[in-house]
Amino acid sequence: MKITPQEALLRCIEHREIFHDEMLHLFRQIMSGEMSPTLVAALIMGLRVKKETIGEIAAAAQVMREFSTKVPMADTTNLLDIVGTGGDGAHTFNISTASMFVAAAAGARVAKHGGRSVSSSSGSADVIESLGANINLKPEQIAQSIAQTGIGFMFAPNHHAAMKHAAPVRRELGVRTIFNILGPLTNPAGAPNILMGVFHADLVGIQVRVLQRLGAQHAVVVYGRDNMDEVSLGAATMVGELIDGEIREYEIHPEDFGLQMIASRNLKVSDSAGSKAMMMEALNGEPGAAYDIVALNAGTALYAAGVASSIEDGLAKARAAIQSGAARAKLAQFVQVTQQLGQG
């Protein structure tokens, strides 16, 4: 069903939903550069003011996946993305990036999709690059990196060239739009499992249902009530979990896992150098907040990947991977392999 951008705008003004096929048509126009910047801006702001529905987000994500440059993966068993929407304003170190090395060291395969900093002190691409890894591998090389190390990093701009049509509009608007929540839904390696952090409580229920519509296998969507897009140590964490096609929503607390509550301000950094230092503190197993939050998030990731039977089991496996030195070794291996592949 085709709809003009002007008709879609009228729907937004009247707080009426844009249907799946209509949304597919509109977003194909955006991603192919057929829609004018004025109409793109009006439409994405109209959706934001109306509040995007589960169906609208799922359709837009489907189009973004269609237009993306894929990483060829023959086997997606235990393949996981650990990703946050960002925009939580917490300015913590890269917890999800540190968790990636721990999860891979404990047996998960991680296809991490990320970019440079937009609203945080340091984006995943910034810190991975500062560690010495090559973030600009070709899709086939990323698949090789996953095969050799259990980790592949997909630098978002390299996989979403069609986003160039919307990028100037997004930059000029300078406010959150549907695109902020689409990135984590469009993993180029087709990872069926995901640990996703979101920047608002309302998004927990929304994103887990979008992932259900998009055919995810095991999804764990989290929001720390202290406004963190991670599993938090400073407050309860809201969880939306999709497993075997069923969704359940619940809360977890640090005390459930024998962990001390620690305010998220203790995890703040101002740049990628600070983020790298705190990451290394965690990967070296130095007792403290950084170690605890990485172990807890990596444990949750292991549960999402199907490597652990519960978050508690995942936490034990994550701690073992850190304490044995396997997580630190995984980081070194990843840096070395991406450098070698980049020279090939």
Distance CA 196, CA 114 (A): 12
Q: Is 343 within a domain? A: no
> What gap in Å lies between CA 84 and CA 82, rounded to an integer?
7
pLDDT in tens, 3-59: 999 999 999 999 999 999 999 999 999 999 999 999 999 999 999 999 999 999 999
Residue 62 lies in a domain: no
Cα distances (Å, whole numbers) of residue 138 to 71, 72, 100? 8, 11, 20
- 190 vs 270, higher pLDDT: 190
Judge if 157 and 21 occupy the same domain.
Answer: no
Per-residue pLDDT, 20: 96
User: What is the reported pLDDT for 272?
Assistant: 76
Q: How confident is the model at residue 88 (pLDDT cuts 50, 70, 90)?
A: low
Task: Point out the domain boundary residue: 13, 31, 51.
Answer: 51
- 30/127 same-domain check: no
28 and 135 fall within a common domain:
no
Rounded distance, CA 191 to CA 107, Å?
15
Q: Percentage of residues in the chain with pLDDT exceeding 70?
A: 97
Q: Give the residue, 158 or 123, on which the prediction is more confident.
A: 158
What's the token pair of residue 75?
A: 């086997």
222-to-37, 161, 255, 301 alpha-carbon distances in Å? 33, 29, 17, 11
CATH number at residue 204: 3.40.1030.10
Number of domains in the chain: 2
Euclidean distance between CA atoms 236 and 141, whole angstroms: 39
Q: Are residues 47 and 88 in the same domain?
A: no
Confidence of residue 270 (pLDDT cuts 50, 70, 90): confident
Residue 61 inside a domain? The answer is no
Q: Does 300 lie in the same domain as 153?
A: yes
Pair 70, 190: CB distance under 8 Å: yes
In a domain, 65, yes or no: no
Range of the domain at 44: 5-51
pLDDT of residue 85: 79
Name the average pLDDT for the chain: 94
Mean pLDDT of 100-105: 98
What is the enclosing helix (H) or strand (E) of 221?
strand 218-224
Co-location of 15 and 83 in the same domain: no
Q: Do 97 and 145 fall within a single domain?
A: yes
Residue of higher predicted confidence among 89 and 161: 161
Q: What are 305's two structure tokens?
A: 């990947």
Do 150 and 20 belong together in one domain?
Answer: no
Q: For residue 117, what pLDDT band results from cuts at 50, 70 and 90?
A: low
For residues 66-89, average pLDDT = 89
Under the banding of pLDDT at 50, 70 and 90, the label for residue 300 is: very high
CATH value at residue 9: 1.20.970.10
Distances (CA, A) of 10 to 22, 27, 38, 176, 306: 13, 17, 15, 21, 44
pLDDT tens for 204-234 read 999 999 999 999 999 999 999 999 999 999 9
Give the per-residue pLDDT at 121. 52
Same domain, 47 and 85: no
Is there a domain that residue 74 lies in? no
Q: How many whole angstroms separate alpha carbon 99 and alpha carbon 97?
A: 5
Question: What token pair was written down for 307?
Answer: 């490597």
Q: Among 35, 3, 39, which Cα is nearest to 20's?
A: 3
| 33 lies in the same domain as 88 | no
Instruction: Kindly state whether residue 323 falls inside one of the protein's structural domains.
Output: yes
Give the HSE-up count for residue 106: Cα atoms under 13 Å, Cβ half-sphere. 32
Confidence grade of residue 273 (pLDDT, cut at 50, 70, 90): confident
Whole-model pTM: value is: 0.95
Decide if 69 is inside a domain. no
Report in angstroms the alpha-carbon separations of 250 from 222, 253, 257: 10, 10, 15
Both 107 and 29 in one domain: the answer is no
- Within a domain: residue 56? no
- pLDDT score recorded for residue 10: 97
Please determine, for residue 120, whether its predicted confidence score (pLDDT) is greater than 60: no
Residues 233 and 97 in one domain: yes
